[in-house]
A and B are shown apart, each in its own frame.
Chain A
Amino acid sequence: MSTIPAIKGVDETQATQRARTPGGVIHEWLTTVDHKKIGILYITYALIFLVIGGVEATMIRIQLAVPDNHFVSPQVYNRLFTMHGTTMIFFVAMPIVFGFGNYLVPIMIGARDMAFPRLNAFSFWISAFAGVLLYFSYLGASGLYAAGSAPDVGWFAYAPLTAKVFSPGHSTDYWTLAILLSGVGSIGTALNIVTTTLCMRCPGMKLSRMPLLVWIYLVMGGLVFVTISPLTAAQIMLTLDRYLGSHFFDTQAGGSALLWMHFFWIFGHPEVYVLVLPAFAFMNEIVPVFSRKAIFGYPAMVAASVCIGFISLSVWAHHMFTVGMGAAGNTFFVFATMVISVPTGIKIFNWLATMWGGRLIFATPMLFSIAFLFQFLIAGLTGIILAVAPFDWQLHNTYFVVAHFHYVIVGGILFALFAAFYYWYPKIVGRMMSEKIGKWHFWLFVIGFHLTFDFMHIPGLLGMPRQIYTYEADRGWGTLNLIVTIGVLFQAAGVLVFVYNLVRSYYVGKMAGPDPWDAWTLEWSTSSPPPDYNFAVLPTVKSRRPLWDLKHPEDPDSDYEL
Chain B
Amino acid sequence: MSSASTLPMQPGAQAPWTQPYRGTVGMACLIIAESAIFIIFIVAYIFYLGKSLTGPTPDQVLEVPIFGTICLLSSSITVHLAVGGLRKVNLRAFTFWLAGTVILGTIFLLSTAQEWYRLIYERGLTLQTNLFGTTYYSLVGLHASHVIVGLIMLSLTLLFALFGRVNEHHIEKFDTLSLYWHFVDGVWVVVFTVVYLVGR
Contacts and interface: CB of A to CB of B under 8 A. Distances in A.
- A, B in one complex: yes
Interface stretch (B35-43, B62-70, B146-154, B188-196): B35-43
B14 A187 contact: no
A535 B2 CA distance: 11
B162 interface: no
B20 A253 contact: no
A536 B26 contact: no
Interface stretch (B4-12, B71-79, B91-99, B102-110): B4-12
A540 interface: yes
B130 A253 contact: yes
Contacts of B36: 225-227, 229-230, 233
Given A229-B34, A229-B37, A246-B127, A11 B25 contact: no
B47 interface: yes
A537 B39 CA distance: 45
Given A12-B2, A237-B44, A240-B138, A245 B128 contact: yes
Name the residue in B37, B53, B133 with the highest tally of chain A Cβ atoms < 10 Å from its Cβ: B37
B1 A536 contact: yes
A13 B1 contact: yes
A8 B6 contact: yes
A416 interface: no
A195 B22 contact: yes
Given A11-B1, A229-B36, A253-B53, A204 B6 contact: no
B3 interface: yes
A460 B188 CA distance: 49
Nearest to B38: A233
A303 B32 CA distance: 21
Counting from the closest, the 4 A-B pairs by CB-CB distance are A9-B6, A229-B36, A233-B40, A246-B134
A375 B137 CA distance: 48
Contact of A237 (B25, B29, B33, B138): B138
6 contacts: A7-B6, A10-B6, A225-B29, A229-B37, A256-B48, A540-B10
Contacts of B17: 203-204
B30 interface: yes
Interface in A524-562: 525-526, 535-537, 539-542, 546, 549-550
Contacts of B39: 230
Contact of B5 (A190, A199, A225, A540): A540
B51 interface: yes
B22 A200 contact: yes
A233 B41 contact: yes
A191 B134 contact: no
Contacts of B20: 198-199
B19 A200 contact: yes
B166 to A, nearest CB: 22
A198 B7 CA distance: 22
B40 A198 contact: no
Contacts of B5: 8-9, 537, 539-540
Given A199-B22, A247-B131, A191 B30 contact: yes
Contacts of A233: 36-37, 40-41
B167 interface: no
A541 B7 contact: yes
Majority secondary structure, A binding face: helix
Contacts of B1: 11, 13, 536
Interface in B85-140: 127-128, 130-131, 133-135, 137-138
Contacts of A246: 127-128, 133-134, 137-138
Contacts of A199: 19-22, 25
A192 B137 CA distance: 32
B26 A115 contact: yes
Given A198-B19, A199-B19, A259-B44, 16 more contacts: A8-B5, A12-B2, A116-B26, A187-B33, A198-B25, A199-B25, A226-B32, A226-B36, A229-B35, A233-B37, A237-B41, A248-B134, A253-B130, A256-B48, A537-B5, A540-B9
Contacts of B138: 236-237, 240, 246, 248
A234 interface: yes
A9 B40 contact: no
Contacts of A232: 37
Interface of B: 1-10, 14, 17, 19-22, 25-26, 29-30, 32-37, 39-41, 44, 47-48, 51-53, 127-128, 130-131, 133-135, 137-138, 142
Contact of A537 (B3, B29, B48): B3
B40 to A, nearest CB: 4
A226 B29 CA distance: 10
Contacts of A236: 37, 138, 142
Nearest to A205: B17
Contacts of A196: 22
Nearest to B3: A536
Contact of B7 (A191, A195, A247, A540): A540
Interface string A201-220: 10110000000000000000
Given A225-B32, A225-B36, A253-B53, A9 B3 contact: yes
B39 to A, nearest CB: 8
B137 to A, nearest CB: 8
A255 interface: yes
A228 interface: yes
Given A115-B22, A246-B128, A194 B29 contact: yes
A165 interface: no
A263 interface: yes
A12 B2 CA distance: 7
Contacts of A256: 47-48, 51
B142 to A, nearest CB: 8
Contact of B19 (A201, A224, A525, A536): A201
Interface string A306-318: 0000000000000
B37 A230 contact: yes
Contacts of B8: 540, 550
A200 B25 CA distance: 11
Nearest to B133: A246
Given A254-B131, A259-B47, A191 B9 contact: no
A495 to B, nearest CB: 34
B128 A244 contact: yes
A63 to B, nearest CB: 36
A337 B29 CA distance: 27
A210 to B, nearest CB: 12
Contacts of B25: 115, 194-195, 198-199
Nearest to A204: B14
A432 B36 CA distance: 43
Nearest to B42: A233
